[in-house]
Structure 1
Amino acid sequence: METTATETGAARTGGWGRVFRGNRGLWITAAVAVVALAGGLVLGRFVISPIDAAAGAGAPDPGLVTVPVEFGELSNDVTLRGDVGYTDAVELKIDTSTFTGPAVVTGQVPETGAELDRLSVALEVAGRPVIVLPGALPAYRTLRIGVSGPDVLQLKETLAAAGIGVGDAASDVFDEATALAVGELYNQVGYPAPDAEEGVAETVIAAEDSVRMAEQSLADARAALAVAGQGPSAIEVREADNQIASLDRQVAAADAAGEDSSDLRDQLALAQLQRQALDAPRDTSAEQAAVDGAIAGVETANASLAEARQAALPYLPASEVLYLEDLPRRVDAVDVERGTALEGAAMTVSGAAVELTGTAAAADVELLEVGAEASFELPDGAAHRAVIVAIEPAEDGGRTVISFEPDPLSPEQMEQVLGTNVRIEVPVGATDGEVLSVPYAALTAGPGGESRLEIVTGDPRDGESAETRMVTVETGLAAGGYVEVTATEGDLAEGDLVVVGS
C-alpha cells in the first residue's frame, strides 16, 4: 500500500508540472497581477491626491480682492445692430391702361445697379418709352390740350426745370405751349411724340378746306360790294347822255315837220329819269350783308381749324411717364425681361444714397441725437464713420428706428456690406484725454457722503490686517463698469491697488 501512495503522489506532482509547463504565460500574468494589487494597496496608505489633500485642509486665510487703478481714455458707447442698404426702396408699377393690346416689354430694360435720373427711359413697352420725371404726384390720366389741374402744374414745373420752355409755368392749364414742350421732351429722349388719335388728321384736312372755301366766299362778296359801291361807269353815263341827246334831236325834228312828237317826248323823259338814277347813291346793303356773312364764315372755319390742329398737338399718356421723388434712383431688382408682358411690378428702385438703419431701446434713445457720430465695422475690420440723420420713435411703443448716413463707400466696399447686418457703435460720452478710472465696486461713501477709495499699501493676502489708506475722489464719466476718478484728498496713481471686496 505504501508503494502505491508514493506512486500516486509522484503522479500528481508530475501532472501539476505538466499543467504549469503547458500554461506558463497565463501563470506569469496572474502572478504579476497579484503583485501589482498588493503594491497598490500598500502605496494607497501613504499617497494622497491633491483634491483629497485640499478637502482635508482647512480654509485659507481671507484676503482682499483688489484691482489696479487704470489710466487711459474712457468712453461710453451705445451699441446697436443695423442693416446697410439704399434709401427708400419702392416697387415700380407701370400704368398699362392706355394700351389697346398686350403691354409687351420691347427694350430699354435696365440692369441691376443702374441709375434712373431726370429724362431717363426706365423701360420701353410696346415700342413706347416710359420717361422718368421728378415728382410726388403719380401719373393718373393722359394730359392733353384743355385739361388742367395739379398734375399739369407738376409736369410744367418739371419740364421748366429741365430747360424746356412751357410758357407760363405757374399756370395749371395744358395749353399749346405745354404741348410743344411735351414734343420737345420726346425729342430729347429720342422717341417720336405719340401719334394723334384716329380721325384727327382727316379732321384737320377738312377744316383747312373749309377755311379756304370761306375765304373764297369772302373774297367774292367783297368784290361784289366794291362793284356796287363804285356807281355808274363812264360808258353807262355816256350812253345815257347820248340817248337823251338823240331823243332830243328826234323831238325837235318831229316838231319842225309838224309831226306828233308825244311818244318821243315820253321816251326822252324816261331817258332823263334813268340818267338821274345813275347819279343817285346806290343801295349796297345786300352786298354788305353778304360780306358780313362771309367774314363770320371765315372766323368759324378758322376756329374749327385751330381746334382740329390742337387735337393733333403732342400729348402725354399716363403710361409713358413715371414720376419719382428724390432722383437719381438706383435699380435694385428687375422683374421683367424683353419680350414678356408687363404684369405687376416692373422693378424695385431705391434712393442712390446709402443708408444704415438700426433700432434702439428707449434707454439708449435718450442718449442719442441727430448729428451724433457713429462707426461700424467693414468686412476688412476697418471702422467706417457714419452720422445719425433721423430718430423715428415707433408708433406702437416698440424700438425706435435710428437712421445713419455713412461716409462715402467705394463700389467694392458697398458690394461687400450691402444687405448685411453690422454692429454700430455710437460714442455718447468720452473723457478729454487719458484719465484715472476704477470699477464702480471700488467706490465707497464717506461720513459726509463723499466718494472714497481704499488703497492697499501692504500685502492684500493679509486680509483685514493688510495696510490700507483712504483716498477721497471726485467721480466723472462712467462707462463700461468703470468710472473716472480724480483724487481730492490723498494720492492716487496708475497701478495703485484699490479694494473691491474681501
Structure 2
Amino acid sequence: MTTSDSGDPGPSEPRQAGLVPVGPGSVEPAPPTGPGAPPAASRGLRGPRLVLVVAGAAVASLVAGLLAGRFVISPAQAAANAAPPEAGAITAPVEMRTISNDVVLRADTAYADAVDVRIEAAEISGPAVVTGQVPEVGAQLDPASVLLEVAGRPVIVLPGDLPVYRTLRAGTSGPDVLQLKAALTSLGIDAGDATDVYDAATAAGVEALYAKAGYPSPDPGEEAQAVLKGARESVRSAQSAIRDAETALAAAGRGAGDVEKIEADNAVRAAERQLAQARAEQAAHDAWAAQPADAGGPGPEAAPPADVAGAEDALTLARAQRAALDRPADTSAERAQLDAARRSLTDAQEELAEATTGALTALPASEVVYVAGLPRRVDAVHVGRGELVTGPVAAVSGAALRLEARVATSSAALLTVGAEGEFTLPDGTTARAAVVSVGEAKRPAGGGDGGGDGGGDGTVAGTQATAATAVTAATGARPGPAAPPSCWSPGT
C-alpha cells in the first residue's frame, strides 16, 4: 500500500465507502462525505432523537394552549360574564315623516266620456251653412264658448244633461227652462227665480249670455215688433182719455161759481119782470075787453091778450136753475166716463204686457247645445266652413284625463278610492291623479290571449284601478292620446 506524506490514503489505496464499524460483527452506513453532504448537526437529529424532539414540541404546544384557554377571555364572553348595567331611560330621536307605500302602475290613458255633438238646425229659416268659428282638434270647450257659427248665428255651449228639443220663449216652462237657469247661474248670470218658467229675468239673462259670447241677442221678429208698437199706442190713447175724464170730473165737482150764480139770479129777476109785465098787459086787455062796444069796447084792432102763462113758466125755470146752483154738483156722468177710460187702459196694458212678453229675447234651439261635464276637448270636427250641417258637427271628450291600469290583487289592497298619486308627462313633468274606482278587472267576452292567471270565464286575475285627473296649468299643456304618461304611481 502506498501512502502520501500527509498520511491519507492515496488514490491507489483501496477502501470501502459508506460503512463504519459499530460493533463486533456489524457495520453502520457511514455518513456521506464530500461536497453537498449535510452538516454534522443535521445528521445528529435523525432517528429516535427526531421523534423525541417532535413529541416534546407537541406536548409543549398542548400545555401552552391549555394555559392560554384558561387565562385568555374573548370580548363576547367578557360581555356575557359582566354584570348588567343599571336600569335607565332609553331615548331615541323623534322623526316626523310620512310612512308611505308606493304602488307603481303602467296605465292606459284616454279622455273620458267621448260624445258626438249635434245641433238642432230644423228651426233655422234658411240653409244651415257653417259660416265660421270652426274649432280645431284639441281645442277646449268651456261654458259659454262658441262651438260653431251657423247662418251667421252662434251655437253656444252650455253645461247640462238634457238635449235641446225646443226654442225657449217667455211664458214657456219645463225642465229645460230649469236647466237653462242653472247654466246661467253657473256662469254668474242672474236668471231670475228658481221656478221653471221663462220670464223677463230669464230673457235678460239670455241677453247677457249673448253679450258674453260676443254676439247680439236674437231679433224678436217684425210681427212681434208691430204688435208691441200697436199695444203701446193703445196704452197711450187710454191714458189720454183718462186725463180728459179726470179733468171733467174735477170741473163738475167744483159746482157753480159766483158768476154763474149772479147770472142765474139775474135770469130769475128778469123772468119776474116779464111775468109782471105780462100780467099787467093781461089785466089791461081784460079791462078793455069788458067795455061795451058803443063805449069804445073791443074792436077788430084790439091787442091780443098777454102770455102770462109763458112768463110764469120762464120764471119757474129760472128759479129752478138758480136753485140747482146751490145743490151739490152731480158728477155721475163724468165719473162713469172716467171709469170707462180706466177700463180701456187696463185692457190696453194687458195687451201691452202680452206684446212685450212676445217680444222678449228668446233662446232658439239652433243656437245652443248642452254638454255635460264641461270643459270638454274637441277630438274631431265633422264640418267645415261653407258646408251644410247634416249630422254631428264634432266629437268631444272629457277634458279630464283617465288612467286605467291593472294591478296584482296583493297590491290592490293598498289602493283606496280617493288615494292620490302622480304620473309623468312626456315632457318629464308630473301631474296629480286621484283614484276614483277599484274593481275586478274584466277582459272582453270571448277570451283573449289568456295571459296571467285568468280563467275561461273572461275574468282576469288581478284588479283594475281607474284614476282621473284634470290636467293643471303647471304641466304647460295637456297630454294628448298620442303621448300617454309613462307611469302612474299612487302613494298610500
Place the TM-score, normalised by the shorter chain, in its bin: 0.5 to 0.7
Q: Specify which of 213, 217, 233 is matched with residue 189 of structure 1.
A: 213
Which residue number corresponds to residue 323 of structure 1? 370
Change (3 A) 1:110 1:303: same
Q: Specify which of 327, 336, 340 is matched with residue 383 of structure 2.
A: 336
Q: Secondary structure at the match of 1:199?
A: helix
Calculate percent identity across the aligned residue pairs: 49
Give the structure with the higher percent strand: 1
Task: String of CA shifts for 1:366-399, please: whole Å, max 9, x gaps.
Answer: 6754356778787799999865332255798745
Distance in 2 (alpha carbons) for counterparts of 1:401 and 1:343: 40
Distance in 2 (alpha carbons) for counterparts of 1:223 and 1:128: 53
Which residue number corresponds to residue 120 of structure 1? 145
Q: Number of aligned residue pairs: give it.
A: 352
Conserved 8 A contact 2:424-2:488: no
2:225 pairs with 1:162:
no
2:151 pairs with 1:88:
no
Q: Specify which of 97, 100, 108 is matched with residue 133 of structure 2.
A: 108
2:373 pairs with 1:348:
no
Conserved 8 A contact 1:79-1:423: no
Change (3 A) 1:376 1:121: closer
Distance in 2 (alpha carbons) for counterparts of 1:212 and 1:413: 61
- For residues 95-494 of structure 1, what are the structure 2 equivalents within 5 Å? 95-168=120-193, 170-252=194-276, 259=284, 262-263=308-309, 264-358=311-405, 368-371=415-418, 388-393=435-440, 398=459, 401-405=464-468, 410=475, 414-415=479-480, 418-419=481-482
Change (3 A) 1:254 1:140: closer
Change (3 A) 1:320 1:428: closer
The structure, 1 or 2, with the larger RCO (C-alpha pairs under 8 Å, 6+ apart) is 1
Which stretch has the larger CA shift, 300-309 or 315-324?
315-324
Superposed CA RMSD in Å reads 3.8
Change (3 A) 1:148 1:359: farther
TM-score w.r.t. the length of structure 1 is 0.60
Task: String of CA shifts for 1:138-174, please: whole Å, max 9, x gaps.
Answer: 3222222112223222222322232222332x22221
Q: How far did residue 319 of structure 1 move?
A: 1.9
Distance in 1 (alpha carbons) for counterparts of 2:142 and 2:161: 14
Change (3 A) 1:86 1:145: same
Which residue number corresponds to residue 15 of structure 1? none
Q: How far did residue 322 of structure 1 move?
A: 2.0
Conserved 8 A contact 1:83-1:420: no
Q: How far did residue 422 of structure 1 move?
A: 8.0
Which stretch has the larger CA shift, 298-307 or 388-397?
388-397
In structure 1, the gaps of 5 or more residues are 1-75, 430-502
Conserved 8 A contact 1:83-1:421: yes
In structure 2, the gaps of 5 or more residues are 1-100, 286-305, 446-457
TM-score w.r.t. the length of structure 2 is 0.61
Task: String of CA shifts for 1:170-194, please: whole Å, max 9, x gaps.
Answer: 2222111111111111112111111
Give the number of the structure whose alpha-carbon radius of gyration is greater. Answer: 2
